[in-house]
Structure 1
Amino acid sequence: MKYLIQKGFTLRFTISLLVIIAILLTMLTSITSAVQVNRATLIGNYLQNNEQYAKKLASNTNELLVTMQQNINAIAKISGRSQEMDAQLFDDLFQENTQYFNSIVVADADRIVRALSPHTIGIEVGDQLTSAQSKMAVSLKAPFISNPYRATTGRYIILISAPIVDASGAYQGFVGGTIYLEDKNVLSTMLKEHFFGNGSYVYVVEKNGAIIFHPDKQRIGKSVISNPVVKNVLMKKSGSQRVTNSEGGQFFAGYAYEPSSSWGIISQTPTSVIDKPLHDLIKRVLLASLPFLLLILILGWWVASRIAKPLNTLAQFSDQATLGSARPQNVPDIKSAYYEVRLLSQSVKIAFQHLNQDLTQLRNEAGVDELTGLANRRTLDTVLQQWTEYHVPFAVILIDIDHFKGVNDTYGHVLGDQVLKHLAQLMRNVSLEGDLCFRYGGEEFGILVQRSGPREAGVVAERLRKEMERTVNPIGVPVTISAGVAAYPEHGRSPRDLILKADEALYRSKTGGRNRVTLSGEAEVKQVRSGR
């Protein structure tokens, strides 16, 4: 069997790698700085733009509401000149205001409808209005803009009203213009141009935090008072900030307060909008740096080759000497200006003489199972031979994982290996200093319990069985073990006899239903008793 030497990095590769790392670190520093500066600039721009945009929309909304209130006031004055409103005249007035209102209603002091347009809104002349907002219009006897409410027609609306007074100044009722928030309305007409392909949008909240305009109509009427931006704007503030909205989305938001209606206007852009510009920036920097990187790499490789050539010659010789089938007889004569290389060449000549002897010794010292870290079969045989020759009292516990083939078939060999490691750790936990935990092969394990009789070893095995049964293992479902116990010298005086006796006891545990411990020549161990 050949002694395998794990190859490391060559000097030429290391120098080239150092050059590449230096360039990459320089590039990374430059890219990081550029990205941070551009990120801060983009964030600042979006916050500022959204704030200015919200202020502009708040101003436009104010102008719109003033115009709507003036138009309702004008209709109220016309209505106050006569006892009865001419139906044709009222329809003409509505037609002149269709860009502002979805419907207009005239009601008297008892809230009885005297005129309306259009005539398909769900109420008729002679009906009495029962909403709290209509009662408020009669009670205030002054112009006002209502909070959103659900009308008797089922529509979610805002009412803009003005009082009707006759020539003598007596109150006659009110004129109310409505905005249907869930239908096409004056707000959506004004704001619909402000939806952008990058995910930016505008929404409007009334003074209690309910949405009265949103591009997603299903959100109209929902309260978003918990949103920090909404809280700020309803405190009559204007500004901008990065925010996580009520649905978990992250935005750069600008907001402005509209005083005439106490509404808040919020314009926001998703934070992901800055990702593409930053990615494009990184690509441009990388493409610009690539030629420079290749040039430095070629130069570094050439310099590294000149420096590393004599060392590479020695390394190839060492590789051939340890791994080759036909081993070289002499160390190559290395001529180099470097003192370290000449000294190394002499050291290699001396080391070569002792190489085979040292490799043989190292091979013999390998006695550990690679997967579990426990002792392997070679170590087990050695220790068994020594303990029986020196008549050391001990017991052998042979352990087998129940239905382990099913574990591998169901969960795969990777998790199966994790179960083996799990058992190995539990074995270490229950054993004492001087005991030997070993892997016998496959899913079979064992413990040599030093200076112990069969009963004490049975206690150890039972403790291990219970730990395996109740602890959480890598596959998440219970995995059990079966065990057999034999002791020296009670059950055998040679390693072979002890292993056979322990294996027979293990076989009885298996045939007896598994998940149990059996002593050689005795019944199953029922419970753990105080012991070691």
Structure 2
Amino acid sequence: MLRSLLSSSLFRIDLRRLILILAVMSAFVTLANSFYASYRVQRQLLIDNTLEENRVYATKLAASTEQFIKSMQKQLAYSAVIAASHFDDPAVLQSETARLKYQTDSFNSVVITNSQGKVLATSPDSLQLVGHVLTTQGALEALKERRPLISKPYISAAQNLVIVISTPVFTADGKYLGYIGGTIYLKQKSILNELLGEHFYRDGSYITVLDEDRRILYHRDPNRIGEVMPPRPMTEVVKTATNGSLMVEGAAGEMLAGYAVVPSSGWDIVTLRPTDATLKPLDGLMVKVLKHLTPLAVLTLIFVWLFSRLIARPLWLLARNANEMDNPDVSLNIRDIPSWYFESNQLKRALLIGISLLQKKIGKLKFEAQTDPMTGLFNRRGLAMTLESVAQVRQQFSVIALDIDDFKSINDSYGHDVGDEVIKSMAEQIRHNARETDILCRVGGEEFLVLLPRTALAEAEMIAERLRENVESLVLPGIRPITISLGVAHWHYLQGEPDTSLKRADEALYKAKQDGRNRVVVSLE
């Protein structure tokens, strides 16, 4: 009886089963260790990459903001020279404030005061501050310091939360006359909101801007603008370096933050993203990997001692090609893999489908990144790529710069929805008058560019004039007739970079505006 039991036991624990058990245990331990190690490595990699991306993004925004502030200071400095020469001429001062306000939309309002703070000119006129003496924090600081300043946030005379960028006005012999200042509204639409508001907040990430006193200058929640942040690890560490990144605890949980300082103003730009949002794709990916690996591992281990090489080879080839997704021939390589059993064939099909979807997704994203969503025309990025291609092949072209005359009055009179329809109609007119080879771009609100490859200047002028006439005769129900002004220029590769022709076309457009609008002006340079 004992021998029978022993023989039966030995029969059950044979080499074949031991190999299978060893293979199962080895595979399980290896799989578990690899899964955990992969998860930890990928998790840390995602966190590190997000921290670096936030730091780089904050640094880029800080550089853009710094460049914009310097540009505004240059505009004010130039206006200060003009104002100093005509300080006793209210009409010239008023004209200069209007130019600063409306030419670039850099400021929400502009004022010029004398040395006692009395307002000599202001734009817009609706502020009704001419003749008043300003006693606000920004005005008193500008009058006292008599140097270019960026004020701290304060409540203006018009009861808006603002910051003021100001420049003193001196005569040629150094006499102080007053200052010229441009305001940026913090809680209303302003150039600061446009500069920072292009960030997308789909995953809970956001941008905030703090001044040197930890006061919030920009936030996705307008109600928090002006709030002073309490001392926290993040708000304190940003004072110790020009840029960097760190993990912080916020009201919404752990956040991954990148920060950078705007040198001229001392503002801190901070980009934050929830750690959970960063790791969410990884969690889903690891679950999917586990679900797909488990049945495949079981099937493989059942036949590992018989068909290990035969079964492993297709999977090994698929895995190797999966690591070469950037190879343009990867689809052909995967199709050539002999996947004779179901699992490898399904993985092969899934990879091919995934590669196809990925390539379509990349193509769609590339198209969307280069296209204006309202009109379907190229945007500035698409224009830049086109110009780069033109420069590489040295292909001559003409360019037409145009915009809608008095478009602001259309928005003011009929509303922005009607304004959008006018812009769409304008895009259709441009398409109707363009040739198949022409490059059509929307480069601003009501501003458009048409690149005409291998087109002489005279022919481009005829096309521009035809477009102007068609728009002039266009009837849009419910609104007044619209007109456009156009500037035409030509580029040859011996003339330098293609951007020069765009500038000349823009200058010609500006000349058309000055000459009365609804006309074509050709740059002959």
* TM, length-normalised to structure 1: 0.50
Checking the alignment, whether the CA contact within 8 Å between 1:113 and 1:129 is kept in structure 2 is yes
TM-superposition CA deviations, 1:301-341 (whole Å, max 9, x none): xxxxxxxxxxxxxxxxxxxxxxxxxxxxxxxxxxxxxxxxx
In the TM superposition, what is the alpha-carbon distance from 1:88 to its structure 2 partner? 5.3
TM-superposition CA deviations, 1:107-161 (whole Å, max 9, x none): 111111111000223x421111111221111111111101111223221100101
Partner Cα distance (1:152, 1:40) in 2: 51
Change (3 A) 1:270 1:64: same
The equivalent of 1:94 in structure 2 is 100
- Which of 165, 168, 174 aligns to 1:160? It is 165
Q: Which has the larger radius of gyration?
A: 1
Checking the alignment, whether the CA contact within 8 Å between 1:31 and 1:282 is kept in structure 2 is no
Q: Does 1:195 pair with 2:200?
A: yes
Q: Does 1:117 pair with 2:123?
A: yes
Aligned pairs for 1:175-186 (under 5 A) are 175-186=180-191
The equivalent of 2:174 in structure 1 is 169
The equivalent of 1:235 in structure 2 is 240
Partner Cα distance (2:253, 2:187) in 1: 23
- Which of 41, 48, 53 aligns to 2:45? It is 41
In the TM superposition, what is the alpha-carbon distance from 1:282 to its structure 2 partner? 3.2
In the TM superposition, what is the alpha-carbon distance from 1:90 to its structure 2 partner? 3.0
Checking the alignment, whether the CA contact within 8 Å between 1:157 and 1:181 is kept in structure 2 is yes
Q: Could you tell me which amino acid in structure 2 is paired with residue 253 of structure 1?
A: A
Change (3 A) 1:119 1:234: farther
Change (3 A) 1:18 1:220: farther
SS at match of 1:28: helix
Change (3 A) 1:228 1:237: farther
TM-superposition CA deviations, 1:243-271 (whole Å, max 9, x none): 113x2432111111111101111122211
In the TM superposition, what is the alpha-carbon distance from 1:68 to its structure 2 partner? 0.6
The equivalent of 1:136 in structure 2 is 141
Please, which runs of 5 or more residues in structure 1 have no aligned partner?
A: 1-10, 301-532
Checking the alignment, whether the CA contact within 8 Å between 1:206 and 1:262 is kept in structure 2 is yes
SS at match of 2:89: coil
Change (3 A) 1:215 1:96: same
Partner Cα distance (1:296, 1:181) in 2: 65
Partner Cα distance (1:224, 1:158) in 2: 18
Partner Cα distance (1:100, 1:275) in 2: 40
The equivalent of 1:60 in structure 2 is 64
Checking the alignment, whether the CA contact within 8 Å between 1:210 and 1:225 is kept in structure 2 is no
Change (3 A) 1:156 1:249: farther
The equivalent of 2:110 in structure 1 is 104
SS at match of 1:194: coil
* TM, length-normalised to structure 2: 0.50
Partner Cα distance (1:127, 1:188) in 2: 29
The equivalent of 2:55 in structure 1 is 51
In the TM superposition, what is the alpha-carbon distance from 1:209 to its structure 2 partner? 0.5
Change (3 A) 1:134 1:182: same
Partner Cα distance (1:189, 1:21) in 2: 59
Partner Cα distance (1:265, 1:91) in 2: 30
Q: Which aligned segments of 4 or more residues in structure 1 are displaced greater than 3 angstroms?
A: 15-27, 95-98, 294-300
Partner Cα distance (1:53, 1:253) in 2: 10
TM-superposition CA deviations, 1:383-430 (whole Å, max 9, x none): xxxxxxxxxxxxxxxxxxxxxxxxxxxxxxxxxxxxxxxxxxxxxxxx
Aligned pairs for 1:383-422 (under 5 A) are none
Q: Which has the higher contact order (CA 8 A, sep 6+)?
A: 1
What is the RMSD of the two structures over their aligned residues, measured on CA atoms? 2.8
SS at match of 2:193: helix
Q: Could you tell me which amino acid in structure 2 is paired with residue 37 of structure 1?
A: V
Paired residues in the alignment total 286
Partner Cα distance (1:220, 1:129) in 2: 24
Please, which runs of 5 or more residues in structure 2 have no aligned partner?
A: 1-11, 306-525
Checking the alignment, whether the CA contact within 8 Å between 2:259 and 2:268 is kept in structure 1 is yes
